[in-house]
Amino acid sequence: MSGPFTFLADAPLGTRVVVRTRIPGGYTDALGFLRSRSAAFVSVQTKRGLVTLAMVDVVAAKEVPPAPEPRRRRGIPG
């Protein structure tokens, strides 16, 4: 099984990923599309914008499936 650094180095740009990083007091996840990477940083395009993460803080990373289609609201003809 490969580690997060190998996965991020090998994953094609544009892959939908989740990257877990260490932050003060715990961990946080960035879910979105892999946009760029270097030996020091990785960038993920999330719903809230482009997030750049330090590779030294990355503890896990993996590919995730496409987001589900939005569900229609009840009572709204479609």
Domain layout of the chain by residue ranges: 4-63
pLDDT for 54 equals: 97
The reported pLDDT for the residue numbered 78 is 58
Helix (H, G, I), strand (E, B) or coil at 1: coil
Which H helix or E strand runs over 4? helix 4-10
Report the pLDDT value the prediction gives residue 1, as an integer from 0 to 100.
47
| Closest by CA position to 46, among listed 30, 61, 35, 68 | 30
CATH architecture of 4-63: Roll (2.30)
What tokens were used for 78?
């479609």
pLDDT tens-digit readout, 2-53:
689 999 999 999 999 999 999 999 999 999 999 999 999 999 999 999 999 9
Lookup: tokens for 49: 């914008």
Answer whether residue 74 shows pLDDT above 90: no
- Could you tell me the pTM of the whole model? 0.84
The strands making up 41-46's β-sheet, listed across from edge to edge, are 49-54, 41-46, 26-37, 16-23, 58-63
